[in-house]
Amino acid sequence: MINKNVNLLSIYKMMKLISIIIIVLFSNLANAQKHKIDSLSELKYSELKNKFYDYYDHIKIPQSEHIAKYYLQKAKKEKNSIEIAEGYNLMHFNKDFSTAIKYTDSLTIITKNIKGNLYPARTYLIKGNLYYKNDNLKLALDNYILGLKYAKEQNDEKQTAYANMNIAYINSYIGKNAEAAKIFRYYVYNRNNITDDYQHNQMRIALISCYIYMNKLDSANILIKEGQEYAFTNKNKYNSNLYSYLSGVYDLKLKKYNTAITKLSNVYRYFTNSDENSNINYVLYYLGKSYDGLKNKEKAVENFIKLDSNIQKTDITFPELREVYTYIIDYYKEKNNKEKQLYYIDRFLKVDKKLDEQFEYLATELPKKYDTPNLLQEKEDIIQDLKNRKLVLYTSIGILSVVLLLIVYLYFKAKKTAKEHRKIAQELIQSIEKRNFESTDRKKEVPELPIQEQAEMENKTIKTVPEDVTAFILKELEAFESKQLFLKNGITLANLAKKIKTNTAYLSETVNNHKEKNFNSYLNDLRIDYVLERLVKDKKFRSYKLPAIAEEIGYNNVQAFAVAFKKKTGTTPSIYIKEIENSMIT
């Protein structure tokens, strides 16, 4: 009985001791919390704000949320509308979208009657940033434009700058890097008390990204080193990893794939622990690109699939995803995995639809391997293939047969055309050789040849040219032909008329009536007749390149020569020369 009472007394003492310990612990926690609040109360609004951004920048979410909450409570207690508005702004940072948008709506209400140049421009810029963060670029841009409008109306240089910077972010995001870089570069090198250290660092990061996309790698590398030094000095792990990420992308551009993979993998682990989804997406994209550079398709696809999984969770997209999905689709096409191929075609179409809805700028620096209609058709083909492989096989054989027949048809048509051209060339050669054999005192014009000539004839108009003038012009033309003056470059009706001291009307009519062709045809025929004969006689001339031959006989370029030759003879200069060489061998 005594022992039992002793045990009960011991238990009672122990429970009392535990109670005292609990009371002391709670008292210490309360005192610590009170001390923490008291320590914040000693800070001014500007100091609280700096402390908030310091925690936020270092991804210390609980601490930053605590300061934001205290800031808002303090402002409400003091009935300070400007600071209440700022409290709503701080509160929205770490919240999900639906909660954050409510805080910005409260911000709109509280600042409605506030006079000055800060609002409503700042409200629109804050909302724009929230929409941008949540991948609604259309509403982000709408709000940025409104913010810019009000900032300009209020002559607020700082907020005008912020609006320009934010619009530049969107330009960069949709591929207009040259335009965005101008803005970022200006604010990196011309701060003018507009950007604080945080904003300046963001401009540097954005400019590096633009330079990398624009392949201005030396400029990018200089800024990366500056940024790494800045992050090290400020002991900021978040920024340090951002610059490591950019350095990895820089290495990828230099095809240093293994170095890029090492850097990006380390950054991926950091951002995964900090839950930075938008950054994770880009890191996974460039990891996949790096493995693809090493021809390691399996690892590339592994990272791209992780990227797709993250996209499904966050619904945050970017234009390069088109390349990601086409890569995965091609990979599974090679593996003949129809189910996976079909799945990622569906994923591509969903993402592509969202991108198309958000962006007016559709043409990216990455070429589309598949456009949407082709993918839809391929999707239907795959479904049909899963139902009836034989039908697709027969269809494929039929299509291949048609293609083969078309190729055969084109081949024989080309062969027939070449044969006709060779025949014409042979007849020309034989005709010239026969004429040279029969007479050494030949006429200046080549006699009738079996060629396909369609001379351009001007409509003849009966004009009276004095007989003595006609005789004079014909005599001059005879000299023009015999001295081979037609080989000079730049001959025109006007300068020839001037040279033989007559007018263009008399010269043109004489050529039309006595040569039965217009001046241009007359000139071309003389040149082609000349080159036909000289190519047969002069082996060295035949060895010239076609541009040199064209220049030798008065043409400005080889195209004009080839057209005139084909029109006069019905064959091409190259075939004609080849047939001459063949005839010499035989």
Q: Using one digit for the tens of pLDDT, what is the confidence trace for 320-350?
A: 888 999 999 999 999 999 999 999 999 999 9
| Neighbouring residues of 488: CB distance < 8 A, sequence distance ≥ 6 | 554
**Percent of the chain beyond pLDDT 70?**
82
Paired tokens of 520: 């241009």
Mean pLDDT of 208-234: 93
Which of 186-195, 256-265, 454-463, 534-543 has maximum average pLDDT? Answer: 256-265
Contact 330, 341 (CB under 8 A): no
Count the neighbouring beta carbons within 10 Å of the beta carbon of residue 353.
11
Residue whose C-alpha is closest to residue 383's, from 438, 340, 342? 342
pLDDT at 220 over 60: yes
Helix (H, G, I), strand (E, B) or coil at 148: helix
- Local confidence band at 214 (pLDDT 50, 70, 90 cut-offs): very high
Contact 270, 241 (CB under 8 A): yes
Which of residues 10 and 401 earns the better pLDDT score?
401
Which of residues 97 and 25 earns the better pLDDT score?
97
CA distance 521 to 568: 9
- Local confidence band at 256 (pLDDT 50, 70, 90 cut-offs): very high
Contact 290, 260 (CB under 8 A): yes
Residue whose C-alpha is closest to residue 344's, from 328, 333, 368, 331? 328
CA distance 471 to 50: 101
Question: What letter would DSSP give residue 491?
Answer: -
CA–CA distance from 50 to each of 37, 57, 128, 415 (Å)?
17, 10, 22, 80
Contact 445, 529 (CB under 8 A): yes
CA distance 476 to 28: 121
Question: What letter would DSSP give residue 487?
Answer: G
Which of residues 331 and 363 earns the better pLDDT score?
331
Matching residue, tokens 């004429």: 435
CA–CA distance from 428 to each of 495, 577, 583 (Å)?
32, 11, 12
CA distance 199 to 197: 6
- Local confidence band at 457 (pLDDT 50, 70, 90 cut-offs): very low
* Digit-coded pLDDT (tens) for 474-501: 988 988 888 888 888 888 999 988 888 8
Name the maximum alpha-carbon separation found in the chain: 163
pLDDT of residue 113: 82
* Digit-coded pLDDT (tens) for 411-445: 877 777 777 888 887 777 777 777 766 654 444 44
Mean pLDDT of 171-200: 83
pLDDT of residue 152: 86
* Digit-coded pLDDT (tens) for 267-291: 999 988 776 667 888 999 999 999 9
Contact 565, 531 (CB under 8 A): yes
Q: Any idea what the Cα angle at residue 231 is, between residues 229 and 234, rounded to 5°?
A: 105
pLDDT of residue 30: 43
pLDDT at 314 over 70: yes
C-alpha torsion angle, residues 61, 62, 65, 71 (rounded to 10): -130
| Window from 43-52, 191-200, 239-248 with minimum mean pLDDT | 191-200
Contact 310, 277 (CB under 8 A): yes
| Window from 256-265, 349-358, 569-578 with minimum mean pLDDT | 349-358
pLDDT at 143 over 80: yes
Helix axes of 519-537 and 504-514: crossing angle, nearest 10 degrees: 60
pLDDT at 138 over 50: yes
CA distance 568 to 429: 14
pLDDT of residue 396: 78
Question: What letter would DSSP give residue 460?
Answer: P
Which of residues 169 and 56 earns the better pLDDT score?
169
* Digit-coded pLDDT (tens) for 546-560: 999 989 888 989 899
Paired tokens of 128: 């724009």
- Chain centre to alpha carbon of residue 113: 45
pLDDT at 376 over 80: no
Q: Any idea what the Cα angle at residue 566 is, between residues 560 and 571, rounded to 5°?
A: 145
Contact 562, 572 (CB under 8 A): yes
Contact 366, 319 (CB under 8 A): yes
- Chain centre to alpha carbon of residue 151: 32
Residue whose C-alpha is closest to residue 209's, from 164, 242, 160, 186? 242
CA distance 578 to 570: 15
Paired tokens of 464: 């009276």
User: Quick one: residue 3, left, alpha or beta (phi over 0 = left, psi -120 to 50 = alpha)?
Assistant: alpha
pLDDT at 80 over 80: yes
Which of residues 439 and 383 earns the better pLDDT score?
383
Question: What letter would DSSP give residue 574?
Answer: H
pLDDT of residue 244: 94
Residue whose C-alpha is closest to residue 428's, from 417, 440, 416, 420? 420
Which of 77-86, 145-154, 322-331, 532-541 has maximum average pLDDT? Answer: 322-331
pLDDT of residue 453: 41
CA–CA distance from 530 to each of 437, 485, 526, 527, 567 (Å)?
17, 11, 6, 5, 15
pTM of the model: 0.52
CA distance 210 to 220: 8
User: Quick one: residue 279, left, alpha or beta (phi over 0 = left, psi -120 to 50 = alpha)?
Assistant: alpha
Please, is 180 exposed, middle or buried when counting C-beta atoms within 10 Å of its C-beta (0-12, 13-18, 19+)? buried
Paired tokens of 32: 């610590």
Count the neighbouring beta carbons within 10 Å of the beta carbon of residue 63.
14
Count the neighbouring beta carbons within 10 Å of the beta carbon of residue 397.
10
Helix axes of 573-585 and 558-569: crossing angle, nearest 10 degrees: 70
Which of residues 151 and 258 earns the better pLDDT score?
258
